[in-house]
Structure 1
Amino acid sequence: ISHTSPLTPNTHQPPKHRPTARAEQRRAHPPMVFLKTHRTGSSTVQNILFRLGERESATFAFPSHTYQFNYPDRFRAAFVDELPEGSSQFDLLCSHMRLDLREVRKVMPQNAVFITVLRDPIKTFESVFGYYTSTVPAFLTAHRAAAIEGKSALSVFLDSPEIFWDPKEPRNGLAKNPMSFDMGFNNQKWNGSWPEDLAQLEEAFHLVMIAEHFDESLVLLGALLGLEHEDLAYLRLNVRAGNSVTDLDENMQAKVRSWNVLDTLLYDFFVQVFWEKASQFGMERLKAEVERLRAFTEDVRRKCVSRAEVPPGELEDLLRPWQTETATIVGYEVQGNLSLQDQGFCIRMMLPELQYHSHLYFKQYGRDMRAWFPTYVLENPKQYTFWMFYSSDKTISGLGVFTNKLMS
């Protein structure tokens, strides 16, 4: 299945906002590491960085195989594909990984800026469970038990999580304190190294964004990197349909918090750090900048989006997000009657991670990505496989999609 959907080179500005002298003279952003945490709003941040990096012809540190750095293994420099010919350094690393600071620093320049995003642990865990029910063994076992008991899988898991969770199973990393696991911590229980590890993270990360204060986080990111509102406009990506979200009563929330106590400590710590940075920026200034960013983003959304929260079956292949067996991921329909330039900008804002990743990889290396199925989802019997058709200048001219059964 294929279609024509031109994606012109990303050298233009958002609709109705043409390059200014300042924009043309603006220096390229510093090298950057974005730790893409699971189910925290990180796909939206990654899309911003993808667009920025593509426009500035940044060199991406991509995984040598798949869309992730051999997750859930800790990151190793060996997981990164080779430096492209003509590049002197990697400028952007923003694919999923489990953090190892020492190994990341082997790959990225010394002046790299480190950022990540955290989310309320209760919301994060509910989302992780719903999204990865069929691929995390602990969740899948609870799901099967729930089918027998006639209860929700999440409630069955939270009643007795220790029954389902085997800490020796590496694919269970997201089943307890998932944000701590992504950060490279021992996510099983508190140990004596936690305070030291937390201090090391605070020193390493220039900004830890907070999902519940997303726009404020973007303003601080813009200040850190010297970005304009036009760089930071966004659409929320990889969002579940409402019927895929489980409402949690106070009792279930308490159970989530108890099971994920390290994530609660992590989140509370960096929320405090976040507001300290906001205070240094200036609260009144922050409020004014947030209002400007929201107004600009709303203008862009009205220009670009014909329909939001579109079910996957109603989306064209290019804009259809990857689907899990237990969650429906919705997307966007682009406005019609756009110029080719505006269409290229708008499609990029709503382009799902896998499609955008494949596009950038091909532009950088001039070859297709290697087999991408991550080992921790091999139990999932159906996945989407994407391939793209390119014109001579390496811009997307179309994309195909088919469903196939994973082979052992």
Structure 2
Amino acid sequence: MREEGEVREVCAPRSNIAFLKNHKCASSAVQNILFRYAEQHNLQLALPDASNYFGGGVRPFRSEFYTGSPWSKLGVNIFAIHTKWNHDEIAKIMPNNTVYVTIIRDPTSLFTSLFSYSQFQKRTGLTFDEFIQKTPVEGKRLVGYLGFNQMAWDMGMIKEDINNITKVARMVREASDHFDLVMIAEKMEESLVLLAHLMCWPLSEVIVPKLNARSNKYHFNMSKEILNVLQEKQAPDHFIYNHFLKKFDSLVDAFGRERMAHQVSKLRKLTENLMTKCKLNKKPSVELTGINKPWSDMVEGYTVGNTTDKRCQRIAMTELAIIRDLRDRQHKEVIARFGLPNDPRLHALNIGAVPLVQLQQEEEGQQKEEGNRVDTQYIPIPAGFSKLVSISGNKTAGRVKKFGV
């Protein structure tokens, strides 16, 4: 039943979406939503032949990373894999009406999470304070791609330019043109409401608990001096964050604060109901096993009591386990549709060779590298807000107008 004063827009659910998965920005939660949506609606995912990265996190994405894969014949609806973003190359493999989204996080919170999750101290021999004080911004990145200004790096900046604010500002302008929605990790519920609205999905499609959240004992207490040094070194990421935070707040104003509060309340109830239905129980990683055990012992995961509901199982599974299943599903579909032989060599194409070798070693228990593990009705809207997501008749047919940027 329509609520009094509620405006509804008739729209068809959108199926084509490309998601820039920034490190340690609650991006695994968004990825989980997109994976579940793809599976439920029989959509095709851009998946690498192995690992959970295109280009290993070091090389900018190239369309060949995907077009050489066994399932490229199926086409792509959803892109939600870690990569160093290269918009033009990603657009080559996506449909013209693709929606582009990403999520960002307060740079200080992001870095502290990255430092502990990726075991910087163990890998470098430097404490948290020492690393911040001694490591140059343009210095060598951990495992080739992790370090200061992680958002700038993930969004496509090269190491030599990452501390050049002029070039960062240019990248931000380009990102503002490319991305239809830039979500904010600190405003996750509001972000999911806007994502559901943009995609014309019911709120039930964007339910997700916190994934890969750090246990409280692994949080840092910084002195004011260290905080100042960190903020200075991460000026590029702060520029990115402040720009898109302002845009996001303006978008919520356009949506309507009261309407947003109502939608967030509905989303919370839906999430609570799903947690109860699935019998999800949060536990430290060290107490979990198999497909439910996160890569890092410093984060938390879930056990699931409801083993008959596939959605429940997917929420509790690690990224690595889900990607394996989705890869297998698409491989079988290729065979069914195109008669390709069930040849294991189809999974061993030479795409990103070094990262693939590293992942294979990790899966055999020989090493652990964080970056190389595998670890898209009616929507209530306020009057006027639909203008922000109307279909454009400009150069790209069916392109959604810019949303949140």
Q: Is the pair's TM-score, using the shorter chain for normalization, greater than 0.5?
A: yes
In the alignment, structure 1 segments of 5+ residues that lack a partner are 1-24, 147-152, 386-401
Greater mean deviation of Cα atoms: 40-49 or 100-109 = 100-109
Query: Aligned residue for 2:401?
Result: none
Does residue 1:37 correspond to 2:22, yes or no?
yes
Query: Aligned residue for 1:63?
Result: 48
Does residue 1:120 correspond to 2:106, yes or no?
yes
Aligned partner of residue 174 in structure 1, secondary structure: coil
Does structure 1 retain, via aligned residues, the 8 Å contact 2:152–2:162?
no
Q: Aligned partners of 1:275, 1:339: CA distance in 2, in Å?
A: 40
Greater mean deviation of Cα atoms: 247-256 or 168-177 = 168-177
Which deviations, in whole Å up to 9, do the C-alpha atoms of 1:107-151 show, x marking residues without a partner? 1111110000000000001111112235xxxx666x42x4xxxxx
Letter paired with 1:328:
M
Query: Aligned residue for 2:395?
Result: none
Query: Aligned residue for 2:329?
Result: 363
Q: Aligned partners of 2:171, 2:256: CA distance in 1, in Å?
A: 29
Query: Aligned residue for 1:6?
Result: none
> For 1:329-368, what aligned pairs fall within 5 Å after superposition?
329-335=299-305, 338=306, 340=308, 342=309, 344-366=310-332
**Candidates 229, 234, 246, aligned match of 2:208:** 234
Q: Aligned partners of 2:37, 2:153: CA distance in 1, in Å?
A: 28
Which deviations, in whole Å up to 9, do the C-alpha atoms of 1:198-229 show, x marking residues without a partner? 11110110000000000000000000001112
Query: Aligned residue for 2:152?
Result: 180
Does structure 2 retain, via aligned residues, the 8 Å contact 1:115–1:206?
yes
Does residue 1:403 correspond to 2:376, yes or no?
no
**Candidates 275, 286, 303, aligned match of 2:260:** 286
Q: Aligned partners of 1:406, 1:194: CA distance in 2, in Å?
A: 32
Q: What TM-score do you get using the length of structure 2 for normalisation?
A: 0.77
The alpha-carbon distance between structure 1 residues 99 and 294, as it changes in their structure 2 partners (threshold 3 A), is same
Q: What TM-score do you get using the length of structure 1 for normalisation?
A: 0.76
> For 1:313-328, what aligned pairs fall within 5 Å after superposition?
313-323=286-296, 327-328=297-298
**Candidates 61, 64, 69, aligned match of 1:82:** 69
Does structure 2 retain, via aligned residues, the 8 Å contact 1:118–1:267?
yes
Bigger relative contact order, structure 1 or 2, given CA contacts below 8 A and separation 6+? 2
Q: Aligned partners of 2:157, 2:31: CA distance in 1, in Å?
A: 22
The alpha-carbon distance between structure 1 residues 200 and 185, as it changes in their structure 2 partners (threshold 3 A), is same
The alpha-carbon distance between structure 1 residues 29 and 382, as it changes in their structure 2 partners (threshold 3 A), is same
The alpha-carbon distance between structure 1 residues 114 and 177, as it changes in their structure 2 partners (threshold 3 A), is same
Query: Aligned residue for 2:384?
Result: none
Query: Aligned residue for 2:218?
Result: 244
The alpha-carbon distance between structure 1 residues 305 and 246, as it changes in their structure 2 partners (threshold 3 A), is farther
Return the structure number with greater helix share. Answer: 2
Q: Aligned partners of 2:142, 2:348: CA distance in 1, in Å?
A: 23
The alpha-carbon distance between structure 1 residues 209 and 351, as it changes in their structure 2 partners (threshold 3 A), is same
Aligned partner of residue 34 in structure 2, secondary structure: helix
Does structure 2 retain, via aligned residues, the 8 Å contact 1:66–1:370?
no
The alpha-carbon distance between structure 1 residues 122 and 226, as it changes in their structure 2 partners (threshold 3 A), is same
Letter paired with 1:52:
Y
Does structure 1 retain, via aligned residues, the 8 Å contact 2:165–2:236?
no
Q: Aligned partners of 1:381, 1:91: CA distance in 2, in Å?
A: 27
CA drift of 1:316 comes to: 3.3
The alpha-carbon distance between structure 1 residues 245 and 351, as it changes in their structure 2 partners (threshold 3 A), is same
Letter paired with 2:284:
P
- What percentage of residue pairs aligned between the two structures are identical? 26
**Candidates 112, 128, 132, aligned match of 2:118:** 132
Aligned partner of residue 239 in structure 1, secondary structure: coil
Aligned partner of residue 175 in structure 1, secondary structure: coil
Q: Aligned partners of 1:351, 1:66: CA distance in 2, in Å?
A: 16
The alpha-carbon distance between structure 1 residues 132 and 253, as it changes in their structure 2 partners (threshold 3 A), is same
